[in-house]
Amino acid sequence: MPKKILGLDLSGKDGNPSGFCLIYGATVAVIGEFRTLKYLLEYLHKLRPDIVAVDSPLSTSKNKPYRDCDLLLKKDRMNPLPLNTPGMQQLIRRALLVTETLSRVGIKCIETFPAGALRMLGFKRKPRSYKERRKYFNTIRMMMGLKSMTRANKLTKDEFDAFVCAVAGYAFLIGRYVEYVGKNCRIILPKA
């Protein structure tokens, strides 16, 4: 049976969009947004993905701005946000709630970083418009050998980041990834 990989660009609070992207087998099947954690978790429980790749730190830094794996990203000229800001602390708490809920039912979660993933795939920056997001989407899809059942004409920033997260999850499953590992953290990025 084909694997289900879900990419998740989690928002820090309800009301703000959390982007999601489902890759089923080797096909981008669905891309969208949820505005509440309740509906997102209901969707994940019904979907039962094999892996969820999340754009959020899945561990804390004990009041330090960066974890070991974040410092490794910075060493490779990628710039994760500092973890000790109130907004990031809120996002981390939310991400840990999601991943702990999913791990209780046997769903594996990995941490990824879309800006770093794009860098690893040969892009110098994130896309800034619908047109650029569509172009990046198609280039990455072809680079990774993925088909698509969805149109990428009007991807929001959150939906695009969720797509990049799903690509990282797909790369992880097929063994085409780079990992940045620290004491209590592991970030997965796809390889071109």
pLDDT in tens, 112-159: 999 999 999 999 999 999 999 999 999 999 999 999 999 889 999 999
Res 33: pLDDT: 97
Query: 4-190, what's its fold?
Result: Nucleotidyltransferase; domain 5 (3.30.420)
DSSP 32-88: EEES-HHHHHHHHHHH--SEEEESS-SS--TT-S--HHHHHHHHTT--PPPTTSHHH
Domain residue ranges of the chain, discontinuous segments joined by + = 4-190
Instruction: Give the model's pLDDT for residue 151.
Output: 84
- Residue 32 is predicted with a pLDDT of 97
Task: Give me Rg for the CA atoms of the chain.
Answer: 15
Q: Find tokens 């280039």 and name the residue.
A: 139
Query: Which pLDDT does position 90 carry in this prediction?
Result: 95
Q: What is the pLDDT of residue 63?
A: 80
Q: Could you say which residues of the chain have pLDDT below 50?
A: none
Distance from the first to the final alpha carbon of the chain = 26
* CA nearest to 182, candidates 32, 73, 49: 73
